[in-house]
Structure 1
Amino acid sequence: MAAKSFLSIINKKYGEGADYQGDQHGGSTGQNGSGLPKNNLSNFMFATGIECSYPTIENGKIRRDMLEECGHYTHWKKDLQLVREMGLNVLRYGLPYHIISKVEGRYDWDFSDQVMKEIKRLKIIPILDLMHFGLPDWLGNFQNPEMPIHFAAYAAAVAKRYPWVRFYTPVNEIYVTAKFSAKEGKWNEQLKTDKAFVTAIKNIVAASILATHQIARYRPDCVIVQSESAEYLHEATVCKSAEIILDNKLRFLALDLLYAHPPDADVCMYLFDNGLTRNEYEWFMKGEPPGYQVMGNDYYGRNERLKMPDGNIVNVSDILGWYQITKVYYERYKKPVMHTETNVFNAEKAPMWLWKQWMNILQMRKDGIPVLGFTWYSLIDQVDWDIGLAEKKGKINECGLFDMNRKPHPVAAAYKLLLSEFGQITVTPFGEIFTISVKDAKLKKQA
């Protein structure tokens, strides 16, 4: 006697052709994740940003204020409307520190109050950027050891004034800020020494740590999205030089000090040789700052460079890519990840670059690494970033979702398509059960 199939029994019980859907998408709801993003605490965070850099050049004579040069002070209402029209709920937004804080201890909130009120009205979630490559004139530059306490006071004032803001980037790209200001001589103090670089990076990391403590006083549940450049310098030689080996370790330096991760021995020797004291080192190694920490990695193809056998260093795009580089950062710090910046300086090539970055994110998620969000940076085209803002030439870089006239580039349509397909995916695959906690973050206690 032939054994019956369980399907024949099911069909007899429930009827031939009974509609059995299954849960083909996984998770509690069976939702496949398509549709425009929603404001809920389990949703992947799709974002854009408004370029807000403000370093000084020519020994402080010229301020490169990207909010001004990209027209945001004039078109801020339109810019915020464009964020909503894109279907985005999250915006990396930088308040102009150099304008708000023109005098020690006094703050001008006129512009920021208007913008923040509109952001709140539009129900946009801001990731509030408090320092973006520059300082107010009265603070000088990043060699100033008093800078951390003054910046912490500013962070406290911001958190107190806007208590509804939960997400912060205290200091944007600490490593790049220190490198361009004190090692490559492009901005601010415009120095080119290892000692100046170490001084800048320790002052900036200290500022970020103290600012985070102040933010946590007013928002104990704060989410701190560090935004750090994901870099790598390749070397096309058989014998690797000690210089390049050290350089590739120094890219971790800001996060090592921030997250109390002991640097490698050669990096420690470099730090001590260039002015870091034992007491300062021990202060950094006491523990991580408060808040829910997210490791944001910024990746542009130009972040990867190649040193040729003749010593010439050239930009190369996407040898390792965001996935390979960021995975190394993740394995080092074990923090949830966000792709916090990307673009390409070509409006026609931007859509494919967007999709390449998104494939990197999907691969990272497939490997079980929690990626919380993605940012196309920026909303509007930028100016002179092809030369790192080092000179004021006024060249428009076509890297925004929209041009300077607030007309969409092709990448805007590509991003909308991406959002319609993936906009409701959860932070982690099968992650409906997980949300960003609403509980207060607590300092880790050492035994």
Structure 2
Amino acid sequence: MAQKGFLDLIKKKFGDGNYDGDQFGGAGGHDGSGLPTNSPSNFMFATGIECSYPTIQKGKIRRDLLRECGHYDRFKEDLGLVKELGLNVLRYGLPYYSIHQAPGKFDWSFADEAMAEIKRLKITPILDLMHFGVPDWVGDFQNPELPIHFSEYAGAVAQRYPWVRFYTPVNEIYVTARLSAKEGVWNEQLKSDKGFVTALKHCAAASIMGNQQIAKYRNDCVIVQSESAEYTHELYAVPSPEVTMENELRFLSLDLLYAKPPCATVGMYLLDNGMTRQEFDWFMMGKPPGYQIMGNDYYGRNERIRLADGTIQISMDVLGWYEITKDYYQRYRMPVMHTETNVFEADQAPIWMNKQWISILRMRRDGVPVMGFTWYSLIDQLDWDTQLGELNNHVNECGLYDLNRKPRPVAETYKSLLKEFGQITVVPHAEIFELSDRPAQLKVQV
């Protein structure tokens, strides 16, 4: 009689698979499918509500997208759509420019209503505190008092809503400074290197000091710094100094936030355009407090190709989110979140979302801790084809829902992704390493 092998003996003793205990992470364990839960190890699937509020035409017009897209009147409906999608996380911006009416004076009327509804629905907000604009009485991003005023506001928000843990203090610092002070589209509408450096350093300092105030009242705060992931390609045999510098400056806001010394050329550029050595040393003292996540916003239009004749083409993901974000990750070695993406063509949105998700899966498989993904935004937007610089009321069909709150095809694509991947953990094996609610304390990475 032939001797039985170990597998025959196991099957005789324990059966043919589905063994007791397998459901606890073994062959019969959970595969990560199913709609997201509020587990502290859950990958953060999110959307956002567009909340930009810069001024244009030399301050004569305030572009408040919360108003223009109807959110003030329909905020309960909009927040309900977040839950309808199966999402628990929302990038949400309160209108700083209208809430902070003067030093020590705040109007919380809308904020209290909206935040109460968010809390009631058990949505986790990533609270956006400054989104491309400041109160009229502050002026613009050239005001050196901005970090002082903004830190007061950030502290007031943290005290008023102590249940909020996730924050983006200043959204897209690099874009804010570039469009306000280098390209002359918004706010101060300057077109100078000195104006750019001034706006950028004031925004970075405001973010740091606002972060300090948040941590004072919420010492386990999670800071999701949302910044544009950019790159310009050149079809030149010899790279031009201008584009080489541009591809270095894209890191500058995060360099200042995370105390990463920029290259020598950028360092000299800063000193040549108004940053003092004392200011630079202050930025290099160390990262802000709390648990820090590096958010990268990526749109296909973030990549550009400069042709040999000097003209610029929008390249639509030559490298894509994966390759560009990998540059940022290798520079800062911090947890990552894909914090914004969309396309303006509603029929192209489903495939664009799938491409972004494939990039995220590949990044995670390469060992990079990607914490979350955001389709931005929940509702269609207006006039982003002119970067809000022209008041045309042109609808950008980039939302999960249109302005009538009817779902676009991309909403179904997102629901499908959520059903398939909604319960994956923030990183593999994160059930062991859940997002801690202990006070943050580590100063350096080791």
TM-score (norm 1): 0.97
Q: Specify the alignment match of 1:353 in structure 2.
A: 352
Any conservation in 2 of the 1:171–1:208 contact (CA below 8 Å)? yes
Per-residue deviation, 1:223:
0.2
Q: Specify the alignment match of 2:5 in structure 1.
A: 5
Any conservation in 2 of the 1:25–1:32 contact (CA below 8 Å)? no
Q: Specify the alignment match of 2:162 in structure 1.
A: 163
Q: Specify the alignment match of 2:335 in structure 1.
A: 336
Q: Specify the alignment match of 2:123 in structure 1.
A: 124
Q: Specify the alignment match of 1:267 in structure 2.
A: 266
Q: Specify the alignment match of 1:313 in structure 2.
A: 312
- Correspondence 1:235-314 to 2 at 5 A: 235-314=234-313
Q: Specify the alignment match of 1:38 in structure 2.
A: 37
Q: Specify the alignment match of 2:438 in structure 1.
A: 439
Per-residue deviation, 1:442:
2.2
Listed as ranges, the gaps of 5+ residues in structure 2 are none
- Correspondence 1:84-95 to 2 at 5 A: 84-95=83-94
Deviates more, 1:172-181 or 1:432-441: 432-441
Q: Specify the alignment match of 2:377 in structure 1.
A: 378
Any conservation in 2 of the 1:361–1:371 contact (CA below 8 Å)? yes
1:193-229 CA deviation, whole Å, 9 max, x = no partner? 0010001100000000000000001100000000000
Report the CA distance shift for 1:153/1:35 in structure 2 as closer, same or farther (over 3 A): same
1:260-298 CA deviation, whole Å, 9 max, x = no partner? 000000000110111110000000001111010000000
Listed as ranges, the gaps of 5+ residues in structure 1 are none
1:134 lines up with 2:133 in the alignment = yes
Q: Specify the alignment match of 2:62 in structure 1.
A: 63
Report the CA distance shift for 1:257/1:27 in structure 2 as closer, same or farther (over 3 A): farther
Deviates more, 1:396-405 or 1:437-446: 437-446
1:334-363 CA deviation, whole Å, 9 max, x = no partner? 110000000000111101101100000000
Report the CA distance shift for 1:130/1:19 in structure 2 as closer, same or farther (over 3 A): closer
- Correspondence 1:106-117 to 2 at 5 A: 106-117=105-116
Amino acid at match of 1:401: L
Any conservation in 2 of the 1:38–1:424 contact (CA below 8 Å)? yes
Q: Distance in 1 between matches of 2:193 and 2:158?
A: 34
Q: Distance in 2 between matches of 1:325 and 1:208?
A: 24
Report the CA distance shift for 1:280/1:14 in structure 2 as closer, same or farther (over 3 A): closer
Per-residue deviation, 1:182:
0.3
SS in 2 for 1:73: helix
Per-residue deviation, 1:41:
0.2
SS in 2 for 1:168: strand
Aligned residue pairs total 445
Report the CA distance shift for 1:78/1:184 in structure 2 as closer, same or farther (over 3 A): same
Q: Distance in 2 between matches of 1:94 and 1:28?
A: 43
Report the CA distance shift for 1:315/1:14 in structure 2 as closer, same or farther (over 3 A): closer
Any conservation in 2 of the 1:342–1:376 contact (CA below 8 Å)? yes
1:203 lines up with 2:234 in the alignment = no
Q: Distance in 1 between matches of 2:421 and 2:207?
A: 33
Deviates more, 1:18-27 or 1:60-69: 18-27
Report the CA distance shift for 1:213/1:20 in structure 2 as closer, same or farther (over 3 A): same
SS in 2 for 1:118: helix
Any conservation in 2 of the 1:127–1:169 contact (CA below 8 Å)? yes
1:403 lines up with 2:412 in the alignment = no
Q: Distance in 1 between matches of 2:168 and 2:27?
A: 33
SS in 1 for 2:350: helix
SS in 2 for 1:130: strand
1:362 lines up with 2:378 in the alignment = no
Report the CA distance shift for 1:421/1:105 in structure 2 as closer, same or farther (over 3 A): same
Q: Distance in 1 between matches of 2:428 and 2:277?
A: 44
Q: Specify the alignment match of 1:182 in structure 2.
A: 181
SS in 2 for 1:170: strand
Amino acid at match of 1:60: G
Q: Distance in 1 between matches of 2:226 and 2:22?
A: 37
SS in 1 for 2:174: helix
1:87-112 CA deviation, whole Å, 9 max, x = no partner? 00000000001110122320000000
Per-residue deviation, 1:432:
1.8
1:324 lines up with 2:319 in the alignment = no
Q: Distance in 2 between matches of 1:311 and 1:108?
A: 48
Any conservation in 1 of the 2:18–2:28 contact (CA below 8 Å)? no
Per-residue deviation, 1:3:
5.8
Q: CA RMSD in A?
A: 1.7
Q: Distance in 2 between matches of 1:172 and 1:25?
A: 40
Q: Specify the alignment match of 1:421 in structure 2.
A: 420
Per-residue deviation, 1:6:
1.2
TM-score (norm 2): 0.97
Any conservation in 2 of the 1:53–1:132 contact (CA below 8 Å)? yes
Q: Distance in 2 between matches of 1:400 and 1:190?
A: 28
Report the CA distance shift for 1:115/1:307 in structure 2 as closer, same or farther (over 3 A): same
Per-residue deviation, 1:23:
5.6
Amino acid at match of 2:8: S
Amino acid at match of 1:408: P
Amino acid at match of 1:263: P
SS in 2 for 1:206: helix
Q: Distance in 1 between matches of 2:219 and 2:328?
A: 26
Any conservation in 2 of the 1:26–1:430 contact (CA below 8 Å)? no
SS in 2 for 1:116: helix
SS in 1 for 2:224: strand
Q: Specify the alignment match of 2:77 in structure 1.
A: 78
